[in-house]
Structure 1
């Protein structure tokens, strides 16, 4: 059974084309800016893989040649063993699969899951390990190793980078991402995700403090500067949202 938090039909922000987005429950990161704090704890709705296949098939006519299904979260790779039969079924039905992951979980099931994935949306939260630890509560070592593995195994990926003022918008760190990963053939694009506070009401409803309440959303100048920096190393850089 798959532990599901929620679904989004006809999503346009999590991979190419129109997509069914499945948000899974549970995450091993504690990102200070997390917009979905209700997906962090374990639990969710136990869902049979075939139910998700049926949902995808019911929407397949709308996917066209570019769309498909995206698994987000939470952190999907925490449920890798349960997702494997589902991914195999989706491949049988010729449905394009995206996996949105922080790249921090690694085991045999995750490796097989990535081999079945058509496109990985790899979230790089910050390059500097100390700043990454402060921002997420976890190391970024495995994330960078996952990027290397995807490159070596010819798996297409999009890099996603949330631009948080004062936490992940440092020029030297953005340039470090470019110097380290800029020559990767399998990186099809970089997506800058501007920082937002749309999830703050969830913290209030859950009775937990939002620790970045004093951080303002990015200015157009900040976003443009980050796009310029990434463009020094990557040919396709987009602002998502």
Structure 2
């Protein structure tokens, strides 16, 4: 089960959920209603090894709510994953991190200036959060979106790979080729889409980038 929370401080050029940017555009939902739905799915979770992924937007923009939800889900024996950019990592308490089974951490670029171009924000908070997760031994899957002409520079990928390689708790790196599937949402919201017409990465580029991560001994998908 994936729960999408509204609100995000980043403005990623390739965002495929721009409808989650503003928290006020979300639907107010009681935690008890969410837990009731989780309980209905417990047999499925137990049979399949599945669980709850808390995503967004940026879920740590609602850190108090996420903390309560993760605690309640963990008490039910549910595997809880947090899908985050790490930009608001300081809002995550140690208690929340203890209740997480997995963090899906988006490392959007490795060079500060490229990160700023991609997201409109700074890289350092993500690095700090990643270091904290590593220190606590929280399992992490890193995700990197590969966009030709934006994030694909060899030195940028090398920088991401060097960052990730220092985190011994990273179980895998997922290289996600850019796609145009979110274009219609930008158009529907009347927001100019900065990557309109941008090509998806070809097989050779994807292979090169995966090899850069693999060269650091990382498991790459």
Query: Do Structure 1 and Structure 2 share a fold, with TM-score over 0.5?
Result: yes
Matched, 1:32 2:32: no
Matches within 5 A, 1:44-193: 44-63=26-45, 64=47, 66-107=49-90, 109-193=92-176
TM-score, length basis structure 2: 0.94
For residue 35 of structure 1, give the secondary structure of its aligned residue in structure 2. Answer: coil
CA–CA separation in structure 2 for the residues paired with 1:226 and 1:123: 16
Aligned length: 219
Structure 1 residue ranges without an equivalent (≥5): 1-19
Q: Distance in 2 between matches of 1:118 and 1:51?
A: 22
**Structure 1 residue 109: deviation in Å?**
4.3
What secondary structure, in the 3-state scheme, does the structure 2 residue paired with 1:120 have?
A: strand
Match of 2:201 in 1: 218
The answer to which structure has the higher strand fraction is 1
In 2, the alpha carbon distance for the partners of 1:104 and 1:110 equals 14
TM-score (norm 1): 0.87
Q: Deviations over 1:131-158 (max 9, x none)?
A: 1101100001010111110010111101
Shift of 1:99: 0.2
Deviates more, 1:49-58 or 1:139-148: 49-58
Q: Which has the higher helix share?
A: 2
Cα displacement (A) at 1:86: 1.4
Deviations 1:193-228 (A, max 9, x none): 110110101111111111111311111111111111
Q: Is the 8 A contact 2:161 2:213 kept in 1?
A: yes
Q: Deviations for 1:45-90, whole angstroms, at most 9, x for unmatched residues?
A: 1111121112122122222363100011100000011222211111
Preserved contact between residue 178 and residue 234 of structure 1 (Cα < 8 Å): no
Q: Which moved more, 1:178-187 or 1:103-112?
A: 103-112
Distance 1:84 1:235 in 2: 30
Q: For structure 2, which runs of at least 5 residues remain unmatched after alignment?
A: none
Structure 1 partner of 2:210: 227
Are residues 1:195 and 2:178 paired? Answer: yes
3-state DSSP of counterpart to 1:46: coil
Q: CA RMSD in A?
A: 1.4
Question: What secondary structure does 1:45 align onto?
Answer: coil
